[in-house]
Amino acid sequence: MDSALLITQLLNGLQLGILLFLLAAGLTLIFGIMDFINLAHGSFYMVGAYICGTLVVLLDSFVLGVLLAIPLTMAVGYVTEVLIARSLYLRDHLDHVLATFGIILIFDTVTHLIWGAEGMVIPLPDWLNGQITVSETIQLPSYRIAIISVGLLVAAGMYYVVSKTRLGMLIRAGASNRTMVQALGVDIKVLFSLVFAAGAAIAGVAGMMISPITGASIGMGNDIIIVAFVVIIIGGIGSIKGAFVGALIVGMIDTLGRSYLDQLLKLFMNTETAETAAPAISAMLIYILMAIILAVRPQGLFPPKVR
């Protein structure tokens, strides 16, 4: 096995895992606290990318663009919560699925109206566009390192807020026992809006981080949000820790599966069969993992303690 390739793939897996975590974190909190299935959470990933891209070009500064895009995405999330999501919390899951499906259509079309159908390329500044040389054979793209660092930073920040602050205590309490939070006399509406908007902003950060690599495009969040759902179900709905571990597992398995599964299969089947089967199985791998985990441990790996 080529060790440089392996390291690159591990890095890719880590990067995917981090992005998934940024999406899954909001998703799992929104579901855990509001019991709300938000299929449209991926729209904030897309909106974040587009807003950021526009600002980067406008201000000619990547960092400034990102920093300004975060509160703007948060505002989009807040407006969505107040206008639509809020009136859905008490409805059943079927209504959630449908309504947020409608929200996706709306976001995709509005994005299309504002930014056009072509998608957007987001330029990277030179200082992020290089390679970091680790050894003679191993060079790491510096932007990927940056993505992973930002992701870990956000994760650490979330960990701090959720586990060390009063707000975090309320969020944790809300995820395990909603009535208790209400009993504490907290304005539950404000807490819900805040969690929703923050979740949207964090999803937006993920979109901002990935778009210099893949570009921003309409519907970019619709596939990855499904994977993020897989993550939170594997990790246990409502648990940040579960989202983190689940995201890394899914990111790694998906990435490594796509690159190495054919070699693994060749160990016990002939080359031709392995080469035809590998792409199919590697694409299905995370879903197979989720099905197994749900069959064995329906509440996920790290379910919140009390429900």
**Residues at the interface with other proteins (CB under 8 A):** 31, 37, 39, 84, 87-88, 91, 93-95, 97-99, 101-106, 108-110, 112-113, 222, 226, 229-230, 233, 237, 276, 279-280, 283-284, 287-288, 290-291, 294-295, 298
Task: Specify the residue for token string 């729209």.
Answer: 43
DSSP symbol at 120: B
The Cα 40–Cα 83 span in angstroms is: 14
Among residues 8 and 28, whose Cβ is nearest to other proteins? 28
Ramachandran category for residue 91: left, alpha or beta (phi over 0 → left; psi -120 to 50 → alpha): beta
- Give the shortest CB-187-to-other proteins separation in angstroms: 24
Cα distances from 162 to residues 45, 46, 53, 268, in angstroms, run 22, 26, 30, 46
- State the minimum distance, in angstroms, from the CB of residue 233 to other proteins: 5
User: CB–CB of 112/46 below 8 Å?
Assistant: no
User: Cβ of residue 58: shortest distance to other proteins, in angstroms?
Assistant: 25
Residue 55 or residue 262: which is nearer to other proteins going by CB? 262
Question: Quick one: 59 or 284, whose CB is closer to other proteins?
Answer: 284
Provide, rounded to whole angstroms, the least separation between the CB of residue 204 and other proteins: 20
Q: Which one-letter DSSP state was computed for residue 110?
A: H
Nearer to other proteins, 1 or 295 (CB): 295
Q: How far is the CB of 133 from other proteins (least distance, A)?
A: 37
Write the single-letter amino acid at 153.
L
Closest of 31, 76, 60 to residue 207, by C-alpha: 76
